[in-house]
Amino acid sequence: MARRVGIREVADAAGVSVGTVSHVMNKPHLVSEATRTRVRSVMLELGFVRNDLARQLKMGGGTTLGMIVLNVANPFFADLAHACETAGEQAGHTVVFGSSDQLPEREDRYLDLFEEQRVRGVIIAPLLGTTDRMHRLRERGMPVVLFDIHAESGFCSITMDGRVGGELAAQHLIDIGRSHIAFVGGPLHQVEDRWLGAQGVCARHRGVQLTHIDTPDQTIADGRVAGEMLKAIPAEDRPDAVFAANDLLAIGLLQALMVSRELRVPEDIAIVGYDDIDYAQSAIVPLTTVRQPVDQLAEHAVRLVLDEADNPEHVHEHRGLRPELVVRASTAGNDAAAPAALGTGNHP
Amino acid sequence: MARRVGIREVADAAGVSVGTVSHVMNKPHLVSEATRTRVRSVMLELGFVRNDLARQLKMGGGTTLGMIVLNVANPFFADLAHACETAGEQAGHTVVFGSSDQLPEREDRYLDLFEEQRVRGVIIAPLLGTTDRMHRLRERGMPVVLFDIHAESGFCSITMDGRVGGELAAQHLIDIGRSHIAFVGGPLHQVEDRWLGAQGVCARHRGVQLTHIDTPDQTIADGRVAGEMLKAIPAEDRPDAVFAANDLLAIGLLQALMVSRELRVPEDIAIVGYDDIDYAQSAIVPLTTVRQPVDQLAEHAVRLVLDEADNPEHVHEHRGLRPELVVRASTAGNDAAAPAALGTGNHP
DNA sequence: CGATTCACCTGAAAGGTTTCAATGACGCAA
DNA sequence: TTGCGTCATTGAAACCTTTCAGGTGAATCG
């Protein structure tokens, strides 16, 4: 059994030159029909598989995009990755993923890996802004697109407009008559814009108080901890509404609040989440949340990174996409928590 | 700005040969300390980045594993992918992902891609058993490990023991006094073992009836549809328990059942899910479910694929891991649906 | 009939690395 | 002095493909 069959073996077996075999694969119109079919059948017979490494090496980098995501286990990022995969495929590119798991060293590792692999470009949800490594990457001509809350100059970015999202959330809570809002989420630099959006709205309303409850990360577990803190606050000082920096936190909060029926959602505490992950609407109390247009985010990211790769006159672009409020039971007025509210805000 | 700096430029600048530069990177002990540091500093200065394509080409394939997952948007697979990434990293390998989205053509595309990229091995949750393409891959010597419900001969596989899981679920429903169980899930070949497990148990109990409600896929939306079907059944014929083939289906069922308070969970219908995704315990009624040991699955998969790659005496192995029942409110006896039950079965 | 075109095919270079046999330099024992 | 072992380094081959300048023979044109 011939272990490795390359273009050369195929050429020999078909009685043509290697150049011709290559042409059969890449420029079939340059080859006569007779040889084309002959070569093709020899390939099949020998089980030839083109070596993409050599191909890319020769062609100076390939058709692969690298994507680094904060955490695949977070459904928002899973969806985003999935959307990028689809968008990339449509543009004829394959997207490979890495999850930084919020660890700077893993982020670095994937950046290095992608650069060594000579990917066409990198799409990254950075841990905390741009790092030296990213700047070096850019200097060496690698297209880099950020999913970030800040618009960093020198990079294309999709700034997920958390400010507007924060405003929507806070305004909604004020509209339903709440006056003491807790913003739950951290580290602050990662969610700063949502915080600022909420802050801006609250400042414009007399008698509305906003406090910040920090969390080390944005998982369900962190939400639970925050919920316990909330419960520990004496009733008179306790916020009557929570704006959680993402849905996972909100779900954790729900768990903590409901486990010991002391506090009711939304009667005692209304909750707004962020991202509209699939489970938001199926939570123990369906969650009011701020939806981000994931598909469009992905599409823009892919478009920008490819433009930067192809277009010599590329100019960096900062794109902000407007999020949208989805109201469900966790903030619904009177028949709150009623399963009847479940359907609200369903995806199409 | 020198566009491309390769090993050759570094060699020239440092006044050594290319071989030496290579040694500095790969066999530092063969190089004197003086040259080693000199070469290293030149690399830094020139911004040299090793071209992994050439490296892998030369070395005949690299240190990358390919993984194909049914659907990243399903948190079970997201977790599994994540666990494989971690396990792979521990073994010094990078894992790149693709999501087949249940489409055979995408599965094929990724298989081709991985083979062309000369990955070290492939870990795959196949759409429906092994395909011709996978057999061809194997024939050409590519290690392939399946996450599957069947143990296919000729392949290593991690058979997620759905039979036992099905038994656990059905037995539990019978134990709490239910006598008409609906198995919700499909396509059947994908969930056959869970079905068979349940069937076996039901057959051993007099007076227990088991029906199958098919679904085209296993998403929340499919669960909703199944829930509507369930509601449409006249009360006297309606099952008093559901075993859903996964948690997403179960969550969809919950939504459908609760939206029009006609039926209560678990009083009228008890529900058991499968997978114990993070949201199962935060569902509108926390979900009894069958937990799969994701981390161990991943660890075994990586170990097997690498063994097949490295060890000439490798023998195929079929590993089955025992799942575990996690009881929550959706089947809890009297104070069912009580938020107090929320904590049950929490992950550590 | 010679020249021009055309379609098809060839052979070799190039791309950046690793690896390996070979070389050079050096010290040391005989 | 020669011979020998060590250590550091070298240069070229090999990995597999794509690309490109050119070559061949047949058909077409004047």
What is the DSSP code (8-state) at residue B87?
H
In a domain, B273, yes or no: yes
Strand D contact with A22 (CB < 7 A): yes
Strand partners, B147: B158
- Interface subset of A 78-97, CB within 8 angstroms of B: 78-79, 81-82, 85, 94, 96-97
What's the sign of the alpha-carbon dihedral B41, B42, B47, B51? negative
Can you say whether residue A45 is alpha, beta or left, with left for phi > 0 and alpha for psi between -120 and 50 degrees? alpha
Note whether B167 and B143 are same-domain residues. no
pLDDT tens-digit series, residues A161-202: 889 999 999 999 999 999 999 999 989 988 899 999 999 999
pLDDT of A345: 39
Q: Which position has the higher pLDDT, A344 or A28?
A: A28
Q: Alpha-carbon dihedral of residues A171, A174, A176, A177, nearest 10 degrees?
A: -170
Q: Which position has the higher pLDDT, A1 or B103?
A: B103
The token pair at B209 is 């009836």
Note whether A298 and A276 are same-domain residues. no
Within B78-200, strands assigned E span 94-99, 121-124, 144-148, 156-160, 180-184
Is A50 close to B141, i.e. CB distance below 8 A? no
- CB-based burial label for A198 (10 Å; 0-12, 13-18, 19+): buried
In a domain, A270, yes or no: yes
Q: Which of A270-284, B11-25, B118-132 has the highest mean pLDDT?
A: B11-25
pLDDT of A344: 39
Note whether B153 and B24 are same-domain residues. no
Poorest-pLDDT segment among A177-186, B187-196, B225-234, B254-263: B254-263
Cα angle for residues A328, A329, A333 (degrees, 5° grid): 105
Q: What's the structural domain count of chain B?
A: 3
- Average per-residue pLDDT for chain A: 89
For residue A195, give the CATH number of its domain. Answer: 3.40.50.2300
Note whether A201 and A338 are same-domain residues. yes
Q: Cβ contacts (< 8 Å) between A72 and chain B: which residues?
A: 72, 78, 81-82, 85
Distance A39 CA to C1 C1' (A): 38
Antiparallel, parallel or unpaired: β A324-326 and B64-69: unpaired
In a domain, B2, yes or no: no
Can you say whether residue A288 is alpha, beta or left, with left for phi > 0 and alpha for psi between -120 and 50 degrees? beta
Rg (CA), chain A: 26
For residue A35, give the CATH number of its domain. Answer: 1.10.260
pLDDT of B343: 39
In a domain, A191, yes or no: yes
Note whether A34 and A81 are same-domain residues. no
Is B342 close to A52, i.e. CB distance below 8 A? no
A336 has pLDDT over 60? no
Note whether A209 and A335 are same-domain residues. yes
Strand C contact with A179 (CB < 7 A): no
User: What 3-state DSSP class applies to A337?
Assistant: coil
In a domain, A285, yes or no: yes
Note whether B172 and B141 are same-domain residues. no
Are residues A43 and A16 in contact, defined by beta-carbon separation less than 8 angstroms? no
pLDDT tens-digit series, residues B264-280: 889 999 999 999 998 88
The residue segments making up the domain with residue A243 are 162-292+326-343
Instruction: Tell me, yes or no, if A102 comes closer than 8 A to chain B by beta carbon.
Output: no
Closest to B209 (Cα-Cα) out of B185, B241, B235:
B241
Interface residues 27-56 of B with strand C (CB < 7 Å): 27, 48, 50-51, 54-55
Q: Which helix (H) or strand (E) holds B191?
A: helix B188-203
The token pair at A222 is 């962190």
In a domain, B1, yes or no: no
Q: What is the rounded distance in angstroms from the CA atom of residue A23 to the CA atom of residue A20?
A: 5
In a domain, A2, yes or no: no
Cα–Cα distances (Å) from B35 to B6, B13, B16, B48, in that order, read: 18, 12, 8, 16
Note whether A287 and A304 are same-domain residues. no
pLDDT tens-digit series, residues B93-138: 988 888 888 899 989 999 999 999 999 999 999 987 888 999 999 8
Count the residues in chain A. 348
Closest to A205 (Cα-Cα) out of A162, A165, A171, A163:
A171
In Å, the largest CA–CA distance within chain B is 89
pLDDT of A270: 97
Note whether B36 and B125 are same-domain residues. no
Distance B49 CA to D5 C1' (A): 37
Strand D contact with A57 (CB < 7 A): yes
In a domain, B348, yes or no: no
